[in-house]
Each structure stands twice: as structure tokens, then as C-alpha cells.
Structure 1
Amino acid sequence: MSCSVKLTNNTDSYVAYCWKVSNPKDYCVKQNKGILLPRSICTTVITKQALLEAPPDLACKDKFLLRSTRVIEGFTTNDISDEIFRKEIMDEVKLNVVLVAAAEKEKV
């Protein structure tokens, strides 16, 4: 199961971002961290490993946290560390994982 998430930088600044997941062994995040250039867009693909059986009521407690902060021009993905995401200058977005039955997915 995969999902694409589009990240948009609507500012004139460079922005570093990093994904965190509550259950990392069950997910693969391509582009889990990076630098968004001013006025740019990038796509992250999140893939969940296949489930052997659906959980009751399709309940899922997995969550993602996307952290971002402004950085200077020339900052690279290799420079991204937990230290740059200080609470007073960082933005966070929390996303809950929602499972949808295959039959319902086809209707969407």
C-alpha cells in the first residue's frame, strides 16, 4: 500500500524537512528528509508493508510527523539532524494513518 504526499514550499526561503513515523518497521518513506527550494514542490512516497489480515474495524494507531524549518542557501540533506528542528523555529504537522478497505478504495 503506497501513498504520495506532495510538499509545497510557498516561501522565498529554503526549508529542511524530515519525516518521523510511530511504527518505522512497517513503513518505507522515500525522501524521508530533504531541502525544499524556495517556491518548489516535492513528492514523498510512503509505503506500508502488506498486512496479513485487516485489523478489526480497520483501526490503525500509526502516525506520521512532518517537521520543517527554514535553513540557509547551501544547506544540504546531509546537514539535516534533529538539532536543527528546535521547537521555537520549527513547524510540525501530525498525520494519522487511515486504512481503507479495498472495495471502498475503488469507489474513491
Structure 2
Amino acid sequence: MSKLDQVLQIEPSVELVFRGPFNEVVTADLKLTNPSDKRVCFKVKTTAPKRYCVRPNSGVIESKGAVTVAVMLQPFDYDPNEKNKHKFMVQTMFAPDGKIENQEQLWKDVLPEQLMDSKLKCVLDPTGNSAPTVGNVDSQKRQDEEIRRLKEQINALKEENSNIKAEEVRLRKVAMSDTVSSTPPPSQRVEVPTQASALPPYVYLIVVLILGILIGKIIL
């Protein structure tokens, strides 16, 4: 049993998922990150070595460095009734100072209390559905936010268009009301008098005679 806590950051840390179909090689990546100030030796083991190919299956990770391990599941006939009990173990130890001449011998000579290990379950997903990663979730959130913003803009434009149409109808009604109110009904219309027709000639003769008589009295 390991006496030390695992120094490496392992991603994924619980399950290594392989997504079907399984009629061809399926690869799952295992990222190992060394946050410590020392070099770390690692080794990846599996309970089904004939079913999986691991590259690299061992090595040294420098301080603040990282390694991506490709775990390849070989093609096989998938049986949904068969329980999958395959497991992986990432075993590590701090590397000695100086150049490492023989890693295999180093692993043989290491004391059990110097070892650190982490275990992962193997999960087979025949549907091939991708689990949402942090990046995918963030991207989906941005897309949802953009869609929501566009919908709000569309709704605002629709509302503005409705307001413009309502204002246009109101202005038309006001214009029609002003026109009707400025035109009096037939009963209230003021008839503009037309020019008086010319007087008959005898009227002028009578006026002339009257004027003549008046002028004659004034002279006498």
C-alpha cells in the first residue's frame, strides 16, 4: 500500500472512458502533470495488458512538466452483458538526483513506502456519446448567451416596429380628425354672398331725376 499521497495531477482522475464503436482502435488520453519541484518517475499499469496498449507506459516528468499518455483499446467484439472490470494504475516515485541509467532497475530497488499510486476505472461507452468537458460546457454557455442576446434584440426590434405602426395609425387618426373638425357641416356653412346683379336702367333714370331736382332746389 502506498505510504505517500500522489504527487502528480492526473486527468481524468477517476475514470478512463473509451467510446465505441469497438471494431477499431479506440484511444483515451491520460494527462500527467508534475506540480512539484522534483522530477517524478511514472509507470502506467493495467489489469488487462493484452487488451490495451499504453504509450508511453513509463518515463520521467520534469518539475512543472506534463506528459500525455495515450491508452489504446484494441478492437474486440463488444458484449453489453459482459461486465467490464478493467482498471488502470498510475504508479509514481520521486526520481533520484542526477542521470537515471536504468529505470527498470530503479523500480525494482524502490522501497514500497516510497511509491505513490492512483487507480482509475475503465469505462466502455458503446454509444460514442462524448461527455461534456469544461471547454465544451463553456462554449455551450457562450452560445446560449449569444442566442439569448439575439432573441432579446429581435423582440426589442419587434416591439419598436409595433410602436412605430401604432404611432403611424394614431397620427393618421389625428390628421383625419383635424380635417373633419375644420370642415363645418352643411347646416353651419356660411354662404359667401355673390356680387349683386346689375340694377335695371329705369332705376338709374329715377335716381338721376331725383338728383336733378335736389340740385335745382339748391341752386334756386
**Under a length normalisation based on structure 2, what TM-score does the superposition of the two structures give?**
0.44
When you count strand as a share of all residues, which structure comes out higher?
1
Instruction: Work out whether residues 67 and 91 of structure 1, in 8 Å CA contact, stay in contact via their aligned partners in 2.
Output: yes
SS at match of 1:83: helix
**C-alpha displacement at 1:49, in angstroms?**
0.5
* Amino-acid identity (%): 25
Q: Which residue type is aligned with residue 85 of structure 2?
A: K
Equivalent residue for 2:47, pick from 6, 10, 22: 22
Instruction: Work out whether residues 6 and 44 of structure 1, in 8 Å CA contact, stay in contact via their aligned partners in 2.
Output: yes
Aligned equivalents of 1:17, 1:77: Cα separation in 2: 15
Q: Are 1:102 and 2:127 matched, yes or no?
A: yes
**C-alpha displacement at 1:84, in angstroms?**
4.5
Which position in structure 2 is the counterpart of 1:11?
36
Which position in structure 2 is the counterpart of 1:71?
95
Runs of 4+ aligned residues of structure 1 deviating over 6 Å after TM superposition are none
**C-alpha displacement at 1:38, in angstroms?**
0.5
Q: Are 1:45 and 2:70 matched, yes or no?
A: yes
Aligned equivalents of 2:36, 2:113: Cα separation in 1: 18
Structure 1 stretches of 5 or more lacking a match?
none
Q: Which has the larger radius of gyration?
A: 2
Aligned equivalents of 2:37, 2:129: Cα separation in 1: 40
Q: Which residue type is aligned with residue 22 of structure 1?
A: T
Shift in CA distance, 91/83, structure 1 to aligned 2, threshold 3 Å? same
**C-alpha displacement at 1:23, in angstroms?**
0.7
Q: Name which structure has the greater RCO, CA cutoff 8 Å, separation 6+.
A: 1
**C-alpha displacement at 1:65, in angstroms?**
0.9
Aligned equivalents of 2:101, 2:80: Cα separation in 1: 39
When you count helix as a share of all residues, which structure comes out higher?
2
SS at match of 2:108: helix
Structure 2 stretches of 5 or more lacking a match?
1-25, 133-220
Q: Are 1:62 and 2:86 matched, yes or no?
A: yes
Instruction: Work out whether residues 15 and 36 of structure 1, in 8 Å CA contact, stay in contact via their aligned partners in 2.
Output: yes
Deviations 1:83-104 (A, max 9, x none): 2443211110011100112343
Instruction: Work out whether residues 16 and 80 of structure 1, in 8 Å CA contact, stay in contact via their aligned partners in 2.
Output: no
